[in-house]
Chain A
Amino acid sequence: MASMIFLPDGKDTALSRRNPLSKLIALIAISGAALSGPDESVPVILGALIIISYVFSVPIVKRLWEAKAMLLIAVFIGLAEYFQDGDILSSLAESAAFITVLGSATLFTATTDPVELSSSIGSALTHIAGKKAWGFASDIMLTISILPSIFQVSSEMMEARKSRGGRFAAHPIKNLSEYTISLISLLIERMINLSDALESREYDRNAERAAAPYALPDILLALITAILAFTLIWIEKN
């Protein structure tokens, strides 16, 4: 699960060099096309996504497999659709659409630096929100950076309890409250330490940051995926 959250692999590829905002637009467009486009287009989009991920050496199938809870949700989505409509192809398409969204998000997070993403968002939002946008962008960056910690702390805590014979299922309600309290206190401790570390490196939440520049491929990426998504959604609606 944690592997799906911003874990840039640090590889210098054509995709990692793209502007984070262009990639974000492409992610939204692909997700929109998969969820609202014709069912027939979903396997094509998913297939293309898998090919692209292999071209850029991002193991999205492996990462999706690690996120078994999300795959389980995909199965439930398909089952719910099947029980509602009785159409097996449509239910498979629904599951595949959900996996496509997860896959494209994984590709995005594996090739995007959270710091660059936040500076790009901050830079774009200054036109609307002025200087406050930098604070907002910093919050996005910090939240993204903190997320893997939550999963790491949670998993370490579970393992520690398991290794001492703790069984969650024995007293689920009592254990849930204990887990939650321990998790929150551990996270608060970690956040305080992170805050000290950032402060000691002169991190200023509201400071203006240099955003990644835009190049022609960035515009093409955003434009092509957006046009593709609009076309597919238009076909489905008509």
Chain B
Amino acid sequence: MFLSVEGLSLTIDGKKLLDSISFSAEKGTITLLSGLNGAGKSLLIRSLKGLENPESGKIILSGRELTKRKERMKAFALVFQDTALGIVGSTVEKDIAFGPQNLGRSHDEVAETVDEQLAFFSLEEKRKTRPAVLSGGEKRKLAIAGVIAMQPEVILLDEPFANLDYPSTLTVIRTLIKLKETGHTIIVVSHEAEKFLAHTDMTIILEKGRIKASGRSRDMIRTLKDNNVYLPADASFEELTWLR
């Protein structure tokens, strides 16, 4: 298994917010983390990233346990729900360059990475554009490009469809599919399963900091509905995408 999380628990101010979370993910797959508000979805991906300090549990990636926070920081990339926070460069190309520069890469390496990401995310024409004037979908693409440029092993996305209009949502779904096709391992926190469930491989439902249910996304339609996740009535698994 590419990623294994074993018994992850997190307590803040005496309150257990994540309780013995265990799951695994194969390389090149998309895992959906779903659940109601306050279930602990965002806390779980923040813990994987190293922004929270779980008191127990193991995170094993490609057979090696990530014991240090710095290792988790490097291995996982997190795209925040509020993209405005993650975008720090004054132009698209400068924002993509920000991460690789912080990793101490040479000028030529940074330039090469920026060109690669601009091409991959079809942002070449926006190279000199100010991020503030991009559309919602383009901003989300830029936020993803900015973290992919740091060559992480797993990409974590927190509510990637939040506040996006229909075309922007399609842009993000296409981006996720492209990332999956190029072998990236992705974990998406979302309660909008109806928009892209058909492209996911595994689904995990959290409730009050615990895993309530998990399994192949194809087999989870009934369970998602039973757990207050909206899915259109009578839609087959393949129909659960806005890309139809």
Contact = CB atoms under 8 A, between A and B. Distances in A.
Is the A/B pair a real complex?
A: yes
Contacts of B146: 201
Interface residues of B, number: 29
A207 interface: yes
Contact of A203 (B80, B82, B102, B107): B102
Contact of B103 (A145, A193, A200, A202): A202
Contact of B51 (A9, A115, A200): A200
Interface string A190-205: 1001101111111110
Interface in B84-98: 85-86, 88-91, 94, 98
A201 B96 CA distance: 10
A145 B82 CA distance: 16
Given A202-B99, A202-B103, A197 B130 contact: no
A131 interface: no
B102 A115 contact: no
A202 B74 contact: yes
B86 A115 contact: no
A85 interface: no
B72 to A, nearest CB: 10
A10 B73 contact: no
A207 to B, nearest CB: 7
Interface string A1-42: 000000011111000000000000000000000000000000
Nearest to B98: A201
A1 B80 CA distance: 28
B18 interface: no
Contact of A10 (B82, B104, B128): B128
Contacts of B46: 196
Given A10-B130, A202-B150, A203-B102, A196 B88 contact: no
A12 B92 CA distance: 13
Given A201-B99, A201-B146, A202-B74, A194 B85 contact: yes
Given A8-B130, A113-B90, A201 B150 contact: yes
A210 B128 CA distance: 19
B49 interface: yes
Nearest to A201: B99
Contacts of B49: 200
Interface of B: 46, 49, 51, 73-74, 77-78, 80, 82, 85-86, 88-91, 94, 98-99, 101-104, 107, 128-130, 146-147, 150
4 shortest interchain CB distances as A-B pairs: A10-B130, A202-B102, A197-B85, A8-B90
